[in-house]
Structure 1
Amino acid sequence: MATDRVAPAAAGVAHNGVVRTREVRVGELPLLQEIERAAGECFREVGMAAVADDEPPSVAELTPFLAAGLAWVAVDDEDRPAGYLLAERIDGALHVEQVSVHPAHARRGIGRTLLEHAAARARAEGLPALTLTTFADVPWNAPYYARCGFRPVPDDALGPGLREVRAREAAHGLDRWPRLVMRREL
């Protein structure tokens, strides 16, 4: 479930400002878990230790995204993942299930590049929008996504798939903090 771990730190990944994305490779799934853990640490700083302590998805949980061709990484100059995005098709849109950037590579456009990669994929599939769920009051969550063109979706406008996503998040305890669904038309 999405916890939007695009960490607010500074360092570089891209050479000459270019961020390269590609599909995740099977052997990299444990690296995605490492990125998730590292990026989650920033939640401690805003009083959300439970989010920081939440274990990342298992390799078994990550594998279906890889098999569907909906798992991408942004890589550094050595082709090592610095951030990743997982997506799935929900309610006729491409839903960003998770986007995380390692803090050592944050604030260099990696999250935005991954979102643009997902948007290009959605357009290629004829999907009209990207959707995601996020924390409303965390600066690198909803305010960040608003700057990326996402807009809040009222609860009464959610399709059945997004209602199910929200129910899973609530059952997982994420509703301890305000959450919302956002959508970006393509």
Structure 2
Amino acid sequence: MHDERTAPQRIRMTGLQEAQLPALVALEQACTAMYHDIGFDAAEVPARTLSDLVALTRQHDVRVAEVDHEVVGYLAWRDEAPGVAYLEELSVHPDHQRRGIATRLIEELRERARELGMQQIVLRSWERASWAQAFYRKAGFARLGDDAPAEVRAWRSERDASGRPLTRPGEVILWATIAPKPSEEPGDGDFGAS
């Protein structure tokens, strides 16, 4: 399969801005249509409305990807006990998928979570969404099992203790490690030091 689209000249990550909200509503509709096309209904995978997106900012860090000044993707995440980054949403407009935008959004999440001392990311994903499963696999995510790091298993235990189901039927929990920031080589930026 050959991709005839033009490569993005510039990908910019920002915090959610009010002017981006209408574009995110349209993006939500396009992304949820992908799920509806494979048999999910609007009750299972609803498109977030303007008010839903605004409400998302109350408990989440919402990062937006713009390509050549066009809003094309976003993610929403939060810190959950015992110190894991919970990825609530990652969406890239179907016209802009497979161009590295979701990867850049995940990198942005890893960087921001790493700055807060977190070492793990967890998320829920629909098992039937093969494109999402393939992306997360490629991005280093694995299915939650007993081999997961202690923090992730503790997160699962705390969520299980809440009494609410951890997943809906057809969802899986995935996790990935946030690699430490590469350390600077000795002498890097050490101009004039003796």
Bin for the TM-score computed over the shorter chain: 0.7 to 0.9
Q: Per-residue CA shift, 1:81-136, capped at 9, x if unaligned?
A: 11111111123111110111111211101111111100110001111111110012
The one of 53, 57, 71 aligned to 2:48:
57
- What's the counterpart of residue 190 of structure 2? none
In structure 1, which of residues 17, 20, 28 is the aligned counterpart of residue 20 of structure 2?
28
- CA displacement 1:122-181 (0-9 Å, x = unmatched): 0011111111100123211223201101111138931324776973753xxxx2xx2111
* Residue matched to 1:6: none
Q: CA RMSD, aligned part only? A: 3.0
Give the Cα–Cα distance (whole angstroms) in 2 for the partners of residues 136 and 163 of structure 1.
24
Number of residues of Structure 1 aligned to a counterpart in Structure 2: 168
Instruction: Find the counterpart in structure 2 of residue 87 from structure 1.
Output: 77
Q: Secondary structure at the match of 2:136?
A: helix
TM-score between the two structures when normalised by the length of structure 1: 0.76
Give 2:38's match in structure 1, choosing from 38, 46, 49. 46
Identity %: 23
| Matching residue within 148, 157, 167 for 2:165 | 167
- 3-state DSSP of counterpart to 1:83: strand
Structure with more contact order per residue of length (Cα contacts < 8 Å, sep ≥ 6): 1
Report if aligned partners of 1:37, 1:52 keep a CA contact under 8 Å in 2: no
Unaligned runs of 5+ in 2: 147-151, 179-194
Q: Which amino acid aligns with 1:104?
A: D
**TM-score using structure 2 length:** 0.73
Q: Distance in 2 between matches of 1:93 and 1:30?
A: 30
